[in-house]
Structure 1
Amino acid sequence: MARWRSSILNPKIDLYDVVAVEQLRRQRRLDPQLIRQLRNRFLKRFDSDEAALEGFPEASRISLHSLELFRRFESGIDGATKLLFRTSSDLLIESVLLRIATGRNTLCVSSQVGCAAACGFCATGKMGIARNLSVAEILDQVQQCGQVLASEGRRLQNIVFMGMGEPFHNECNLFAAVERLVATDHFNRSPASILVSTVGVADAMLRFAEQFPKVNLALSLHSASQEKREQIIPLAKKYSLQQLRETLVEINQVQQREFMIEYLMLAGVNDSTNDAIELIRWLEPMQVHVNLIPYNPIQDAPHLHGSSSEVINRFATLLKAEGLKTTIRYSLGSDIAAACGQLVRSENRQRVMNRMPQDQGLAFTKACE
Structure 2
Amino acid sequence: MSAAAATHRLFRMDEMETLRRDRRLDPQLIRQLRNGLLKKFEPDDVVRERFPASDAVQLHALKLFQRMDSEIDGATKLLFETDSGLLIESVILRIASGRTTLCVSSQIGCAAACDFCATGKMGIAKNLATEEILDQVVQAGQILRAENRRLSNIVFMGMGEPLHNEANVTEAIQLLTAPDHFARSPSTVLVSTVGVPAAMLRLANAFPRLNLALSLHSADQATRETIIPLGKKASLTQLHDTIQEIQTIQDREFMIEYLMLRGVNDSAEDAKRLIDWIGDLRVHVNLIPYNTIEASPHLQASPRPTIESFADLLKASGLKTTVRYSLGHDIEAACGQLIRQENRQRAMQARRAAAEGDSHVGFLDVRQVIDGLES
CA deviation digits over 1:14-63, x for unaligned, max 9? 00001111122123221111111100100010000010122211111100
Question: Residue in 2 aligned with 1:349?
Answer: 344
Query: 1:209: how far off?
Result: 0.4
Amino acid at match of 1:72: R
Distance 1:77 1:354 in 2: 35
Cα separation, partners in 2 of 1:112 and 1:311, compared to 1, 3 Å:
same
Query: 1:322: how far off?
Result: 0.9
Question: Residue in 2 aligned with 1:209?
Answer: 204
Question: Residue in 1 aligned with 2:64?
Answer: 69
Equivalent in 27, 37, 62 of residue 42 of structure 1: 37
Cα separation, partners in 2 of 1:358 and 1:89, compared to 1, 3 Å:
closer
Equivalent in 109, 112, 117 of residue 114 of structure 1: 109
Note the residue ranges of structure 2 that are not aligned, 5 or more in a row. Answer: 357-365, 368-375
Distance 2:340 2:310 in 1: 33
Cα separation, partners in 2 of 1:124 and 1:360, compared to 1, 3 Å:
farther
Query: 1:152: how far off?
Result: 0.8
Residues 219, 262 of structure 1: 8 Å contact kept: yes
Structure number having the greater helix percentage? 1
Residues 12, 60 of structure 1: 8 Å contact kept: no
Is 2:248 aligned against 1:253? yes
1:307-346 aligned within 5 A: 307-337=302-332, 344-346=339-341
Distance 1:359 1:22 in 2: 38
Is 2:281 aligned against 1:286? yes
Query: 1:267: how far off?
Result: 0.5
Distance 1:270 1:343 in 2: 23
Amino acid at match of 1:144: Q
Distance 2:78 2:203 in 1: 28
Distance 1:343 1:319 in 2: 30
Distance 1:54 1:186 in 2: 19
Question: Residue in 2 aligned with 1:169?
Answer: 164
Give 3-state SS (helix, strand or coil) of 2:275's partner.
helix
Amino acid at match of 1:234: P
CA deviation digits over 1:283-322, x for unaligned, max 9? 0110000000010111111000111111111111111111
Is 2:258 aligned against 1:263? yes
Residues 298, 338 of structure 1: 8 Å contact kept: no
CA deviation digits over 1:308-340, x for unaligned, max 9? 111111111111111100001111111111799
Identity score, percent:
62
Q: With the length of structure 1 as denominator, give the TM-score of the two structures.
A: 0.93
Residues 223, 270 of structure 1: 8 Å contact kept: yes
Question: Residue in 1 aligned with 2:93?
Answer: 98
Q: With the length of structure 2 as denominator, give the TM-score of the two structures.
A: 0.91
Equivalent in 13, 19, 26 of residue 21 of structure 2: 26
Task: Give the structure, 1 or 2, with the largest relative contact order (CA under 8 Å, sep 6 or more).
Answer: 2
CA deviation digits over 1:246-294, x for unaligned, max 9? 1000011110210000000001000011101010010011000000001
Residues 293, 336 of structure 2: 8 Å contact kept: no
Question: Residue in 2 aligned with 1:145?
Answer: 140
> How well do the aligned residues superpose, as a CA RMSD in angstroms?
2.2
